[in-house]
Structure formats: C-alpha cells, structure tokens
Amino acid sequence: MMRWILILSLAAALMAPSRATQTPSEGLQVSLSSALVKLGEPVGIVIRVEGDRRVRFGPLPTVSGLSFSKVTRSGRQQSVSYDARGRPVVEQRTTFEVRVQPTSVGKYSIPPLAIELDGQSVQAPDQAMTLEVVKDIEASQLLLFERAEVPGQVYEGQPYTLELRFGWDVTRKLADAELQLPWWERQEGVIEVTSEVSQTGTYEIPIRPGRRAAAIEKLPPVEREGRRFDVYRLRRRFVATRPGTVEFGRSLFKFSELVGRGGVFSRGASRDYYAPVEPFKIEVLPVPEEGRPLEWSGAVGEIEAARSVPRRDIDLGDAIELEVRWFGEGNLEFFDPPDLSRLRAFDQFRVLGVEDRKSPDERVVTYDLVPLDAAVDEVPGVPLSVFDTGSGRFAAISTEPLEIRVTPTAGAGEDPFGPAVEAEAPLVMRDILSRPATGRDGAGPGGLLGLGALAAAVLGWAALRSAVRRRGDPAGIRARQRRGALGLLRRELQGARSPQEVSASLDRFLSRRSGRPPEFWIGRSSLTGAGATEVSAELEQRFEALRRDLDRALFGGEGEAPAQPTSVLDFAQVAVKEGL
C-alpha cells in the first residue's frame, strides 16, 4: 500500500508545474501605455504580474525631461477555468502603473525597471522603452492658454498677482475642462491673500492634482487669426514671506470636445486637447538692512496715503475722527499702522481709540483724537515708513496737515478729561512753640531720622517708577498677556485639528509675547529683529526648524506628515524660559 502511495505522489509531482523551473521574469510584462502621445496627454508605464507572486520595486530611473509618480496598484484580476480532466485552474493577474509626465516635446529613452519577484531581482523589459512626445497642433489652433506678465523678482513682503487666461473656439462644444497646475497646493514661503470679487460673476473649474474646484471669471470674447474664443481667467494673489525662489511648474489646460451624440444616461464621445504654459519662477529678494529706519513697521510696495475728517470745527473736549487711507500696490494687510500716541508731533492730542480696517485694495485706520488746548490749529501729517519696491529704497510717506479750529467752551482752560484735584489747604503757622517740648520720657524719633525716612521714601518711589517704565506695569494688560500666553497656547493646541490651526496658534502665542500683531509672524522663520528680546542661537535654530515643519504640513500636500502640536508647545516652553 505504501508503495502505491509513493508512486502516485511522484506522478503528481511530475505532472504539476514546477516553480523551480520558472524563470524570474516569466509572467512579467512591462510596457508604455502609448509610445506616441501629445504634449499633456496622460501616459504611463504599465506592469502586469501573472500569478500570486511577491513583488517589490526598486528606485525608478531618472530621465531628463520626464517626471515619474510612485508605483501604484491599479487592478487585480482572478479567474477560474478547467483543464481537460475537469480540474480547476486558478489564474491571477495584478496590474501596477507609474504615471509619466513629460515637460516638453521630443523623444525619450526610459531604461528598464528594477523589480524583485519572489526575492529574485530582474530588469524589465529587456530593452529601453521609447516615448515620443509631439505638440498638439490642433490644440494650438482651437485653444487659448496664456499667463499675464508677472515680475521676475519681488521683495520679501511684496504682493504679486498670478493670472492665467484660457478659452476655446466658440464653434466647439464643451464636454469637460480642467486645469492641471502642479504648483497649486505646493508653494512654500508664500501666503495667499483675498482677491477682489468679480463684478461679472464667477464659475468653477476643477484643478488637478486633487481635482479641487477654483473660482474663475468670464471675460469678453476675443478674436485671434480669424477665430473667436470664449475666454476665462483664474487669478491668485500672493505675498512672499521669505527670500528664495518661488517656482511654478508646467501648467496644462485640458479641453474635452463633444464629438458624438449621447444617450439618455451617457454624455457621448469626446476628444481631448491639451494646451501648455511653460514653467517659470519668481526670485524673492530680502528687504535690505542698510538704511532701514527704526520706525519701519513692515510696509512694502508702492503705497500712497490720503486723509479725511467729517468736521474740522470742534469744541474743546470733543474728538476728531481722523481717517487715514493707504492704497496702492503693497502689503496693505500686513504692516503696523503708526501709533500716534508715540509721535512727538501729536503731543497736543490725546488718542482715545483706533479702528483698523483691512482689505487687499486699501488700509483704512480711524484715529479718535482730542485736542488738549484751544490753541491747537491743525492736525499734523501722519507719517509711514515704507520700503519702496520701485526704487529699492526706504521712503517716508505722509498725509497733508489738516487745519482745524478748536473753540473754548465754558470752563475753558480746565482739563477736558475731568476736574483737576484740589490743592490741599495751606499750613497755617500759628501757635507753634519755638522751644522743644519736654516730658517724662523724651523718647521719640529725632529730626534727622524723620528726614532720612522721607528721603528713603522718595528714592524708593523714584526707583519703583523707573522699574515700571523700564519693564512695564506688572499689572498692566500687556504684562498679563505675556504671562498668560503659554496657557492660552496649550488650550488652543488641544483643540487644533489641522496644520492651519496649529500654525495660527503659534502666531498668536508669539504675538502675545512680543506685542506684534499675529499677521506680523505669519510665515516668519526668524526671531531676530522681530521686536522680541535677544534669544540664544539654539532657540533661533529650533524656531527655524519648527517653522519649516509647519510649512511642509501646510503646503506639502496630502503625503506630508501633519504638524505635531507637541513640538510647538515644547518650543514655546523653552522660549518663555529664555524670556522671549
């Protein structure tokens, strides 16, 4: 019996397919999805693996002019058939794909891929793959895609506008359209500011990667070379927050034309066209240290100033609403407006309040000023130190002085903020003995001791006043904000759910500790020269690394690791210990 079992087992082993005799590359196919494509048309490397095999991929090749995505599994198929004897045969196929993005027309040679199958290394295919990319001639005739002129260089803090215009021949029927903008969500060192609202209405277009929707504006039709085009535009406005290079990769406009009739539940056949805008970049220059005024508060651009008041004839004690408006091409939302209470020209006024309104087009600050004397006959000009990007120098712009008339009222000469404290009644030198009094115990402080105590009290008061002036009132609002900054940050980070919220919490913490507004700290990667106390080089490096991690989480896309609130809190605790 045992003999027959051994004979049957040997026969089965001989009849079964043997993996030992299978070559490593058997059942492996690697090829391009298309060897000839139009510029912008999708193309990829397709890898098919037969059978249930362990697959690993080595580093992808580097080819100038081509970019490769990560290897992704695009499908898995399994089928069952029966052989001549009726036995089931299971067949399995797994498909992987690598997306290829050409940057220009031409012929490209792609080397074989390094693949590991069941622990054995192979190169597939046997020869290099040839990809030819040609220009879409029809697209250049049927589509319009261009960018408005942008500056080749800007200064840190200077805003700039990126505008893309696109459209198609009005005789073509639109099936679908999208913009492929690789830089859309992956720019470091910039923040986007709100653009003006279109007066003609807005539409939406998908943006790849991610197929997010963006607002676009319809423009009047244009005619070019005898063709009439429907035209739209996409506008984004940015502010560069640090020196360096801002790169814009190659952009594509994809237009799908409807060429066949559809049914009740189908759209019909379509044909795709692609129009490119070639890559470009903007150099961001640092604002120079040389010639920088002490009063400069971050204003950058070509800015103008104007002022107005609702009335110029007031009674002593009334307030003047001085409205100052800054406008032009500049970072109008991000600089600190002048503090009139710190300007010597406004010594004859008391500043009761300040209202600050920001928008991309203008900055409007309203000061409530009260003249302290009826002799005041004008409101001085309000100065602002600006780094002029046109000349590359710092300049002072100012509003014109404003003539006013202050009329004394009943009780003129009194402080308009309340009656003065009445003086104490004079000491009457009457019935005072010219000789010292005597008693049973003549104990008591002598005259010199009393004078010494009085002098010590005066000196102590002067020292306390000097300390308060130097360090600030420990019971004041500013000091309380500094002391409570770490606790508020801890509570905010507990509720933070996104990198944007974590970064905003850090900016608010720095604002409370330094006295600068949160907008001042947005995107800033250095503590030096930001109005804070001197910090150690170690803390400076720690802050720079923290900001870099936050930027990667904000602008790095879905593949980047999220920002960790614990790292922000650790930095804040060290900063407080150093006295930031």
Q: For residues 191 and 238, give the distance between their C-alpha atoms in angstroms, rounded to a whole number.
A: 6
Token pair recorded at residue 149:
């002129």
Q: Residue 194 belongs to what domain range?
A: 138-285
Q: Where residue 562 falls among pLDDT bands split at 50, 70, 90? A: low
For residue 543, count other CB atoms closer than 10 A to its CB.
22
313 forms bridges with which residues in the sheet?
Answer: 405
pLDDT recorded at residue 284 = 93
pLDDT recorded at residue 223 = 93
Region of residue 204 (phi > 0: left; psi between -120 and 50: alpha; otherwise: beta):
beta
Q: For residues 242 and 548, give the distance between their C-alpha atoms in angstroms, rounded to a whole number.
A: 12
Helix (H, G, I), strand (E, B) or coil at 293: coil
**pLDDT beyond 70 at 408:** yes
Helix (H, G, I), strand (E, B) or coil at 472: coil
Give the residue, 470 or 544, on which the prediction is more confident: 544
Which CATH number is 121's domain given? 2.60.40
Among candidate residues 135, 164, 188, the one where a domain is terminated = 135
pLDDT recorded at residue 355 = 92
For residue 168, count other CB atoms closer than 10 A to its CB.
24
Same domain, 201 and 121: no
Q: For residues 218 and 199, give the distance between their C-alpha atoms in angstroms, rounded to a whole number.
A: 10
Same domain, 304 and 263: no
**pLDDT beyond 50 at 439:** no
256 forms bridges with which residues in the sheet?
Answer: 176, 272
- Residues 325-344 pLDDT 10s: 999 999 998 899 999 999 99
- Has residue 165 been placed in a domain? yes
Among candidate residues 236, 255, 285, the one where a domain is terminated = 285
Q: For residues 572 and 489, give the distance between their C-alpha atoms in angstroms, rounded to a whole number.
A: 8
Same domain, 151 and 233: yes
8-state DSSP, 241: -
Token pair recorded at residue 203:
């539409």
- Residues 92-127 pLDDT 10s: 889 999 989 887 788 899 999 999 888 888 888 888
Angle, in degrees to the nearest 10, between helices 565-577 and 477-495 = 160
Same domain, 343 and 377: yes
- Has residue 37 been placed in a domain? yes
Query: How much is the pTM?
Result: 0.54
Same domain, 374 and 319: yes
In which residue are the tokens 């100038």 written?
64
Same domain, 130 and 154: no
pLDDT recorded at residue 388 = 95
With the CA atoms of 480, 484, 485 and 486 taken in that order, what torsion angle do they form, in degrees rounded to the nearest 10? 150
Tell me, rounded to whole angstroms, the distance of Cα 411 from its chain centroid.
56
DSSP for 55-98, please give it: EEE-PPP--TTEEE---EEEEEEEEEEE-TTS-EEEEEEEEEEE
Contact 313, 407 (CB under 8 A): yes
Same domain, 281 and 312: no
Measured CA angle at 545 (ends 544, 551), to 5 deg: 90
Give the residue, 518 or 315, on which the prediction is more confident: 315
pLDDT recorded at residue 298 = 92
Q: For residues 461 and 4, give the distance between their C-alpha atoms in angstroms, rounded to a whole number.
A: 114
- Has residue 262 been placed in a domain? yes
Give the number of domains in the chain: 4
- Has residue 423 been placed in a domain? no
Q: For residues 143 and 272, give the distance between their C-alpha atoms in angstroms, rounded to a whole number.
A: 11
Phi, psi of 119 (to 5 degrees): 85, 0
- Has residue 415 been placed in a domain? no
In which residue are the tokens 């003549």 written?
442
pLDDT recorded at residue 476 = 59
Q: Where residue 570 falls among pLDDT bands split at 50, 70, 90? A: confident
Helix (H, G, I), strand (E, B) or coil at 225: coil
Among candidate residues 135, 162, 194, the one where a domain is terminated = 135
Give a three-class secondary structure readout of 119-152: CEEEEECCCCEEEEEECCHHHHHHEEEEECCCCC
As a whole number, mean pLDDT of residues 300-323 equals: 92
Same domain, 131 and 144: no
Token pair recorded at residue 424:
């104490």
Q: For residues 465 and 459, give the distance between their C-alpha atoms in angstroms, rounded to a whole number.
A: 10
Q: Where residue 427 falls among pLDDT bands split at 50, 70, 90? A: very low
pLDDT recorded at residue 454 = 62
Contact 148, 248 (CB under 8 A): no
Token pair recorded at residue 171:
């005789």
Helix (H, G, I), strand (E, B) or coil at 307: strand
The residues, any chain, with a CB within 8 Å of residue 424's CB and separated by 6 or more, are none
Q: For residues 47 and 28, give the distance between their C-alpha atoms in angstroms, rounded to a whole number.
A: 7
As a whole number, mean pLDDT of residues 504-522 equals: 81
**pLDDT beyond 70 at 438:** no
pLDDT recorded at residue 195 = 63
Mean model confidence pLDDT for the chain: 80
Q: Where residue 458 falls among pLDDT bands split at 50, 70, 90? A: low
Region of residue 456 (phi > 0: left; psi between -120 and 50: alpha; otherwise: beta):
alpha
Of 111, 126, 9, give the one whose Cα is nearest residue 58. 111
As a whole number, mean pLDDT of residues 195-201 equals: 59
Same domain, 198 and 119: no
8-state DSSP, 576: H
Same domain, 145 and 257: yes
Q: For residues 573 and 568, give the distance between their C-alpha atoms in angstroms, rounded to a whole number.
A: 9
- Residues 466-507 pLDDT 10s: 554 444 555 556 677 777 888 888 888 887 878 888 888 888
The answer to whether the peptide bond before residue 209 is cis (omega within 30 degrees of 0) is yes
Q: For residues 531 and 406, give the distance between their C-alpha atoms in angstroms, rounded to a whole number.
A: 38
- Has residue 418 been placed in a domain? no
As a whole number, mean pLDDT of residues 395-402 equals: 94
Same domain, 160 and 269: yes
Same domain, 276 and 150: yes
- Has residue 455 been placed in a domain? no
